[in-house]
Amino acid sequence: MPHERYNQPMQVRKLILILIVGALAGSAFYVYRNLRSSGQRGQAVWAFLTNPASQPGLLMRAGMRCAEAPFTFPTDGLIGFIWEDSFRPGHRHSGIDIFAGTGVGVTPVYAAYSGYLTRQIDWKSSVIIRIPSDPLNPGRQIWTYYTHMADSNGNPTIAPGFPPGADEVYVEAGTLLGYQGNFSGTPGNPVGVHLHFSVVKDDGYGRYLNELEIENTLDPSPYLGLSLNARQNQNEIPTCPQP
C-alpha cells in the first residue's frame, strides 16, 4: 500500500530521532550524576545553576573580607568548586570556581589584592596579578589568576584598561578587572558563567608557573579566610565563618 511504503522511512526517521534524543539525555544525566556524586556541595551547585534564587544564604559578595584574611572576595556568587576538587576522573582543581547565576558580562570581577597586572597578547579571557610580597609569607612572590572573562566565542569581557599585551600595570585591591564570562578556551564550547580564581606560585625567577598543574598553585583558604581545600571540606559550600 502506498501509505505503508511512505510510513516506513518515517518510522525509521522517528527511531533515529528517538535514539539521538536518548543519547543527549544520557549525556545530560551523566553531567547531573557527576555533580550529584560530588556530595552535598555538588547538589547545592546543581540547585543553584538550575535556580540561582534557591541558595541566597550561600552567596558571597565582591569586596567581602572573611575574618583577618588578606584578600577580599573578587566577585559575587556561589563557590561551586574548590581547590583539590575532582569533578571528573583524574582531575584536581587548581583554584576555585565562583558562579554568579547571571549572563555573560553582567557580574563584575575585582582585584582581590594589590599588585602588578599582566595580560599576555593571546589571552582572551585571563589576567594575572603579581604580588611581590606574599602577605602570609613576606618576601615570597606569588600571583593571582583570573579567567573565563570572555563570551563563548572568546570576545573579552575584561576591562578596557587591560588590553592584550598589558604588562606590569599596577592595580589596587578592588580595581575592576572585567566581568564573569563562559569562555572555555575553545570557541563555541562554553563553560557555565563563572570566575576561576587561583593563587599561583612563582618560579623563583620572577615568572609565574603553569596554573593548570595543581602543584604550581597554593591552597587559597588562608588568603580568603574560607574553607577552600577539598581535602578538608568535602561537602559544604564555603562561606565566611560566623563570629
Tens digits of residue pLDDT in 13-67: 443 343 333 323 332 332 343 444 356 788 888 888 889 888 888 999 999 999 9
| 3-state class (DSSP) for residue 134 | strand
CA–CA gap between residue 238 and residue 81 (Å, rounded)? 10
Q: Give Cα separations from 95 to 12, 111, 199 (angstroms).
A: 48, 15, 7
What predicted TM-score, i.e. pTM, was given to this entire model? 0.83
| Residue 189 contacts residue 130 (beta carbons within 8 Å) | no
Per-residue pLDDT of 118-176, as tens digits, reads 999 999 999 999 999 999 999 999 999 999 999 999 999 999 999 999 999 999 999 99
The third-level CATH classification (topology) of the domain covering 56-224 is Glucose Permease (Domain IIA) (2.70.70)
pLDDT band at 112 (very low <50, low <70, confident <90, very high): very high
In the numeric block, the cell 573580607 is attached to: 65
Torsion sign across C-alpha atoms 96, 65, 146, 43? positive
Residue 202 has pLDDT above 60, yes or no: yes
| pLDDT for position 116 | 98
| Residue 200 contacts residue 144 (beta carbons within 8 Å) | yes
Give ∠ CA 180-181-182 in degrees, rounded to 5.
140
Per-residue pLDDT of 79-88, as tens digits, reads 999 999 886 6
CA–CA gap between residue 119 and residue 149 (Å, rounded)? 12
| pLDDT for position 39 | 67
User: Which amino acid is present at 106?
Assistant: V
